[in-house]
Amino acid sequence: MAQLDVQAKLAILADAAKYDASCASSGTSSRNSKGGKGVGSTEGMGICHAYAPDGRCISLLKILLTNSCIFDCAYCINRKSSNVRRARFTAEEVVRLTLAFYKRNYIEGLFLSSGIIRSSNYTMEQIVEVARSLREDHDFRGYIHLKTIPDADPELVRQAGIHADRISINVELPTETGLTKLAPEKDAARIESAMRDMKASIADAGDAAKHFKSAPKFAPAGQSTQMIVGADAASDADIVGKASTLYVRFGLRRVYYSAFSPIPDASAVLPLQRPPLMREHRLYQSDWLMRFYGFAPKEVQSAADEHGMLPLDIDPKLALALKFRESFPVDVNRAPKEMLLRVPGLGTKAVERILSSRRWRKLGLDDIARLTLSITKVRPFISTSDWRPTLVTDRADLRMLIAPKQHQLELFAA
Ligand code: SF4
């Protein structure tokens, strides 16, 4: 590998990290450097949050330790057979860069991943060393998200959790068949076993914290994972099913969905085109329905068509309401919370406000209109003290009437 200066390495290794979607920093416990002790903070003024146009968080220094890899996952630009310029940071260089960026207030923390250098264990040792040095040598109190290598020694993965706020272990593909075809060196059982160990360590640390105030923190922002969408034949229903299993079995905080991007010199086993970004968005909406609206995975899956794909033109909650119209209209003055949450256009906050307001008076259509962005979307599915949709809910053209209008994109728009 040619000798490169740090800036050249940064250009290569920050660019190589952009394919990883799982970099949100939500849910960590607060640390700060008040009183002149240590550097960094996970909260407070002056921390720069920025989002790329596609919605991905870029407020962390998001880099790879190296983009060289001894594995050959077909969907990955850093795979062994890829013809890209390679670079590698030392652990010390990453530490220095993180501190320098942090002190300039460019970032709120570090997101570190890596290709596999010599072996899974050697790579994991380097990743842990970065986090250890930041925390122990420099008293760094900013956010650290480490991507771990499931094949590495479980003790090394555990050490990552001691220093990091969040740990990710990527499942990569929703089905075992997809993993075997596109990432033959990876092993679904090893990935799940690493997630299981991480869940146990997080739970042990939680128990210890209940009894001892001084108990050391362990990955306080939990563990997350990422699934690549559209690189294999898995349907949206498959992806929703896999995500719900991961949430239940391994207590994940987040599952991130990353639409597969065609890469230069792509392997012939990959599709030529990326899936529509809207597909990724619909999966995030489905995820939201399961985590915050109490939808069962099977319920979300039933919004999909006969090929298991969610509609792209309407959100999954609206698709479900249109498909199961016999459950509507919902009486906003009497219906239980779980039915209100199933009304398209009513979010969790709107539902809470309906529940608290209706204790004092009957709600009319105007009251609901004030709580929602589009009463047009809500109206066919509710009844109020002064409104019943009568025949509207059953109209054959209801989908056309309330689906968001599609905009023709300009051919020569910048
Ligand atoms: S192990 Fe990671 S970095 Fe290496 S080829 Fe596979 S996905 Fe890419």
Paired residues of 384 in beta bridges: 387
Name residues whose C-beta falls within 8 Å of residue 178's C-beta, 6 or more positions apart in sequence.
Answer: 231, 232, 233, 234
Beta strand 330-331 pairing with 254-259 = unpaired
Residues 62-117 have pLDDT tens digits of 899 999 999 999 988 899 988 899 999 999 999 999 999 899 888 888 999 999 99
Residues 171-220 have pLDDT tens digits of 999 999 999 999 999 999 999 999 999 999 999 998 998 888 888 889 99
What is the signed CA dihedral for 173, 177, 183, 186, rounded to 10 degrees?
A: 90
Q: How far apart are CA 64 and CA 79, in angstroms?
A: 13
Q: Is 126's pLDDT higher than 80?
A: yes
Give SS3 for 170: coil
Name residues whose C-beta falls within 8 Å of residue 405's C-beta, 6 or more positions apart in sequence.
Answer: none
pTM of structure: 0.85
Mean pLDDT computed over 327-356: 96
Distances (CA, A) of 57 to 21, 26, 202, 278: 8, 11, 25, 18
Beta carbon of 69 within 6 Å of any ligand 1 atom: yes
Name residues whose C-beta falls within 8 Å of residue 272's C-beta, 6 or more positions apart in sequence.
Answer: 262, 266
Residues 304-340 have pLDDT tens digits of 999 999 999 999 999 999 999 999 999 999 999 999 9
Q: How far apart are CA 279 and CA 310, in angstroms?
A: 8
Cα angle at 128 between 126 and 131, to 5 degrees?
A: 115
State the pLDDT at residue 53: 37
Distance of CA 51 to the CA centre of its chain: 14
Helix, strand, coil shares of the chain, percent, nearest 5, are 40, 10, 50
Mean pLDDT of the residues in the chain: 87
Q: How far apart are CA 145 and CA 167, in angstroms?
A: 6
Q: Are 367 and 334 in contact (CB under 8 A)?
A: no
Beta carbon of 79 within 6 Å of any ligand 1 atom: yes
Q: What is the DSSP string of 345-376?
A: T--HHHHHHHHHHTTTS---HHHHHHH-S-HH
Which of 66, 72, 78, 186 maximizes ligand 1 atoms within 8 Å of its Cβ, making it the mutation to test the pocket? 78
| Domains of the chain, residue spans | 6-301, 322-402
Q: How far apart are CA 261 and CA 231, in angstroms?
A: 8
Q: Which of 166-175, 191-200, 388-397 bottoms out in mean pLDDT, i.e. has the lowest?
A: 388-397
State the pLDDT at residue 46: 28
Distance of CA 295 to the CA centre of its chain: 18
Report the separation in Å between the CA atom of 78 and the middle of ligand 1, taken as the mean of its atom positions: 6
Q: Which of 113, 134, 135 is nearest to 124 (CA)?
A: 113
Q: Is 357's pLDDT higher than 70?
A: yes
Q: How confident is the model at residue 36 (pLDDT cuts 50, 70, 90)?
A: low
Q: Are 226 and 22 in contact (CB under 8 A)?
A: yes
Q: Is 52's pLDDT higher than 50?
A: no
Where does 6-301 sit in CATH, by number? 3.20.20.70
Q: How far apart are CA 145 and CA 107, in angstroms?
A: 13
Report the separation in Å between the CA atom of 24 and the middle of ligand 1, taken as the mean of its atom positions: 21
State the pLDDT at residue 229: 93
State the pLDDT at residue 30: 54
Q: Which of 77-81, 150-154, 270-274, 409-413 bottoms out in mean pLDDT, i.e. has the lowest?
A: 409-413
Q: How confident is the model at residue 26 (pLDDT cuts 50, 70, 90)?
A: very low
Q: End-to-end CA distance of the chain: give it in Å, rounded.
A: 38
Q: How far apart are CA 302 and CA 296, in angstroms?
A: 10
Beta carbon of 71 within 6 Å of any ligand 1 atom: yes
Q: How far apart are CA 117 and CA 127, in angstroms?
A: 11
Beta carbon of 21 within 6 Å of any ligand 1 atom: no
Nearest atom (ligand 1) to Cα of 69: 4
Ligand 1: residue whose CA is nearest its atom 1: 71
Distances (CA, A) of 309 to 81, 306, 398: 32, 7, 21
Report the separation in Å between the CA atom of 189 and the middle of ligand 1, taken as the mean of its atom positions: 17
Ligand 1: residue whose CA is nearest its atom 5: 79
State the pLDDT at residue 278: 94
Higher pLDDT, 394 or 364: 364
Q: Is 382's pLDDT higher than 70?
A: yes
Nearest atom (ligand 1) to Cα of 72: 5
Q: How many CB atoms lie within 10 A of CB 217?
A: 18
Q: How far apart are CA 170 and CA 131, in angstroms?
A: 19
Q: How far apart are CA 313 and CA 311, in angstroms?
A: 6
What is the signed CA dihedral for 403, 404, 405, 406, rounded to 10 degrees?
A: -100
Sign of the Cα pseudo-torsion (14, 162, 71, 20, in order): negative
Q: At what angle do helices 236-250 and 277-292 cross, to 10 degrees?
A: 40
Q: How confident is the model at residue 31 (pLDDT cuts 50, 70, 90)?
A: low
